[in-house]
A and B are shown apart, each in its own frame.
Chain A
Amino acid sequence: MQGLEHELKNPPPQKLVVEGVSKQFKIRRNIVQALDNVSLQVREGEFVCLVGPSGCGKSTLLNIIAGLEKPDTGQVLADGQPVTGPNRMRLMMFQESALFPWLDVLGNLMFSLNLKPNLSRKERREVAKFYLHLVGLEKFAHANIHELSGGMKQRAALARSLAPNPAVLLMDEPFAALDALTREQLYGDIQRIWEQRRKTIVFVTHNVREAACLGDRVVLFSPSPGRIREQFTIDLPRPRDINSVALAEHTTKITRALKRYLPGAATEVAE
């Protein structure tokens, strides 16, 4: 991890800069230090995975980067500008799908596209159809949300997040609810999309193998207080296969580190 001073001396070509962010929550009488002086830089077009055990503040950090929550101290810069609120260029995908039940699948995609100016109605529909096809839901354009399986919901939510073409995609355990096969297919899809569109992605997961498969860099968190402990660069060629041997080496290394900060606690390592 680079020091703050270094960071300030070299104005960064960074897409996202998290500077000394701390966040506390009061739960009844107790104060939970969800994030403690967390700093993180993400380059443009980088795929960063945040891993760590439950409750170490990963979702909180993502919310702060999205501008949905304010940090107690520190700040987040996006393209050098302080983040003051949510912005369409930093789209967030949630643990639950958060699809709108009053709209059908296509309607949900159109919701995000309609908020994007300078597109004709026809173009919007074309874009929506394209992303529905990408996640394999083209036959379900007019399905109601409650008719989709958990996995299909997440795929629809992914399509909805991708459709307005955000520069930064913040993903909070988006695949946790998917079956292994769909998930593998989506690992391929998301790597392809990421490569084509050069999106900056911050991806939260419990699954170390998933993190190593997707990320350029894996950032390891430890809980109470939530801190960044270690970062691992994954320099494997893409597209990566979740089952490859080279990947397993990285996974082992990260898992070992994870256990160091977490004596006795169980974490999902891989399937």
Chain B
Amino acid sequence: MKRWMHALVIFAVFAVVWEILVRVGLIPEIFVPPPSRVALYLGKSLWDGTLLDASGVTLRRLLLGYLVGLAAGLPLGLLNARFKFMEDTVGMLALGLQTLPSVCWVPLALLWFGQTETAMFFIVIMGSLWSVILATDAGVRNVSPIYIRAARTMGSRGLHTWIKVIIPASLPFIVSGMKQGWAFAWRSLMAAEIYVTILTGFGLGHLLHYGRELHAMEQVVGIMLVIIMIGLLADKVLFSPWERFLYRRWGKEKA
């Protein structure tokens, strides 16, 4: 609670100083809008629903795409770690494609799927899938063999060993891979929304884009703030519980 207070005070002071600097003209208003105008914009767009609608559209794309990325990435990562030929094929592919910023998929996605939601999903999936695969693969490879030996002497075999030993033992890697996949998915979706207008729904990226077109910098900054807040919230809701669990169980060194 106290840490929240500290953060709040610091940010409030920051906003006030910023506001003053803009008001007295030390910073030109066309480059940086004052916080009061950003707040005004946020209030207005919250009131007329555009902000919530856009957030909804963006979050739906993000969550669905990310879930598909996870659902495909986790098993693929496990298969990679298990089978040499998977490692040599899918593993290599993942290694290569992970380095490709997923905005690069935009032209192909538009060609294949048109200006549709599917194109957006595709880009988000391409953003998250590879890092999830790679992290899961690395996690399994880093499982200490003594755990597997111990499990085997206790009578664990095959699928049981995978589910009860190998996957939990690689959790620290898998969670950090999931986190990375989330960050990549988020980034690629924003890029895609800024570059491409999709008629089936206007997301936060579009609002940002139109803010630029209209020279409404208070809109740009406002949307940026919303994007940051969503990122922080996702971290708290999606990943903090996992990380707390890892920290509690594994202790300091690994989590």
Residues of A within 8 A of B (CB): 66-68, 85-88, 90-92, 94, 96, 98, 100-104, 111-112, 115-116, 144-147, 160, 164, 170
- Contacts A111-B164, A146-B250 given; indicate if A92 touches B153 (C-beta within 8 A): yes
Q: Is the CB of B249 within 8 A of A68?
A: no
Give complex CA distance A170, B153 in Å.
10
State the total of A-B contacts with C-beta under 8 angstroms: 70
Chain B residues contacting A86 (CB-CB under 8 Å) are: 152-153, 155
Interface flag for B248 (CB, 8 Å): yes
Give complex CA distance A160, B155 in Å.
13
Give complex CA distance A104, B152 in Å.
19
Q: Is the CB of A91 within 8 A of B165?
A: no
B91: shortest Cβ distance to chain A, in Å? 25
Interface flag for B150 (CB, 8 Å): yes
A selection of 25 A-B contacts at a CB cut-off of 8 Å is A68-B149, A86-B155, A87-B155, A88-B154, A91-B154, A94-B146, A98-B146, A98-B147, A98-B149, A98-B150, A101-B249, A101-B250, A101-B251, A101-B254, A102-B171, A102-B249, A103-B249, A104-B249, A111-B151, A115-B154, A115-B156, A116-B155, A146-B250, A146-B252, A170-B153
Give complex CA distance A101, B164 in Å.
12
Apart from A68-B153, A98-B147, A146-B249, what 5 extra A-B contacts exist at CB < 8 Å? A85-B152, A87-B153, A94-B150, A111-B154, A146-B251
Interface flag for B135 (CB, 8 Å): no
Interface flag for B221 (CB, 8 Å): no
Give complex CA distance A104, B250 in Å.
10
- Contacts A88-B155, A115-B155 given; indicate if A144 touches B251 (C-beta within 8 A): yes
- Contacts A94-B146, A144-B248, A146-B251 given; indicate if A100 touches B168 (C-beta within 8 A): yes
Size class of the contact patch on chain B: 20 to 34
Interface flag for B70 (CB, 8 Å): no
A148: shortest Cβ distance to chain B, in Å? 10
- Contacts A98-B146, A98-B149, A100-B168 given; indicate if A164 touches B154 (C-beta within 8 A): yes
Q: Is the CB of A112 within 8 A of B154?
A: yes
A155: shortest Cβ distance to chain B, in Å? 16
Q: Is the CB of A92 within 8 A of B150?
A: yes
Give complex CA distance A92, B156 in Å.
13
Chain A residues contacting B248 (CB-CB under 8 Å) are: 144
Interface flag for B51 (CB, 8 Å): no
Q: Is the CB of A100 within 8 A of B146?
A: no
